[in-house]
Structure 1
Amino acid sequence: MWSVKTEAEMTVTSEQQHQWLQQMVNEPGKLAILAEHDGEMIGFLDFHNGNKQRIRHQGFFGMSVKKDFRHQGIGTALLAALLDWATENPLIEKVCLEVVADNTNALRLYQKFGFVEEGVKKKAVKIDEKTYWDLIVMARFVD
């Protein structure tokens, strides 16, 4: 839906991607979901729970859908798969996210799935010297 990474931050090697995905597979509180069309990656969702005992029950996810494939139900399918997994995962009780405050399409999607606003992080993302984005923190309990 959105990304706060710059192009330089998104450059990773195949080996780095492989190591990251292997870590996701080996950790019971982590998940990566890939959406493909004709062999092309068109959407991605990753979820990470907390590393410490007191916060292992919750985690954050990030999701993106390639621009040409938005408004076709891909984000809905990715989010539904995450929530199905989280509901069945004995570690996970709470799914959290941060979304750009003016991303109304994403906000509607998250609200449709029962996420509620927990707070706002003012000027959380710096776009340039004069432009900032606020982030809305949302969450949903799955237990």
Structure 2
Amino acid sequence: MTITVRRATPRDAAAYARLMSHPSVFGNLMQLPMPNEELWHARLSESTAPGKPDLLLSAELDGEVVGSSGLHPAGPQLRRRHVMFLGISVAPSAQRRGVGSALMAAMCDYADNWAGVLRLELNVYVDNEPAIALYRKFGFEIEGTNRAFAMRDGAYVDSHAMARLHPNPPSLPGQRP
């Protein structure tokens, strides 16, 4: 079993459409049912265009795309440049096999060591205990609960707002961290 994490490309559109079509995947994300390859090709093309601040990663398990993750600016506000929003998905067949941890490690490394990100944010449904455990493993903490956050399968569901601050923020040359 070999897990490979790499940058996503528009060529991953078919794999993303398959991944996001699984009810237990889109049901735990802010995705809608029945995505298609064209939709994902457009999203991946836009998000991976030169000059875009987003980072999209694909995880392959023995050559098959079984996970995705992304870092996205929290918004256009100048005063929130230090914040990025994180999203992740893993195919049910690849869960509890290290794929989520590999994606999270890559996201945190990029944010901490290359992108100057001080704060990572995410939302997770309160009943998604495996995801909450994964996020806690990487230093995320629950900061609040959003009641009736989203519609899922005909019912409103709550979500936790979770965040992680850079564990060792950079210092200036000549200063001690």
| Structure 2 length-normalised TM | 0.71
| Alignment length (residue pairs) | 139
Percent identity over paired residues: 31
**Structure 1 residues 108 and 66: CA distance shift in structure 2, 3 A:** same
Q: Alignment partner of 1:87: what SS? A: helix
2:42 matches 1:16: yes
Q: What are the ranges of 5 or more consecutive residues in structure 2 without an aligned counterpart?
A: 1-24, 170-177
Aligned residue number for residue 60 of structure 2:
36
Deviations 1:31-60 (A, max 9, x none): 111001343210000110232211111011
Equivalent residues in 2 for 1:19-98, closer than 5 Å: 19-23=45-49, 25-27=50-52, 29-49=53-73, 50-98=75-123
Distance 1:34 1:98 in 2: 20
Equivalent residues in 2 for 1:89-128, closer than 5 Å: 89-128=114-153
Q: CA RMSD in A?
A: 1.9
List structure 1 segments (4+ residues) > 6 angstroms apart after TM superposition.
none
Deviations 1:62-112 (A, max 9, x none): 100001110001101100111011111353110011001011111111111
Deviation at 1:11, TM superposition (A): 2.5
Aligned residue number for residue 140 of structure 1:
164
**Which of 1 and 2 has greater Rg?**
2
Q: What are the ranges of 5 or more consecutive residues in structure 1 without an aligned counterpart?
A: none
Deviation at 1:18, TM superposition (A): 4.5
Whether the 8 Å CA contact 2:48–2:54 is kept in 1: the answer is: no
Aligned residue number for residue 10 of structure 2:
none
**Structure 1 residues 75 and 128: CA distance shift in structure 2, 3 A:** closer
Deviation at 1:119, TM superposition (A): 1.0
Distance 1:7 1:94 in 2: 30
| Structure 1 length-normalised TM | 0.86
Distance 1:128 1:90 in 2: 36
Distance 1:138 1:11 in 2: 30
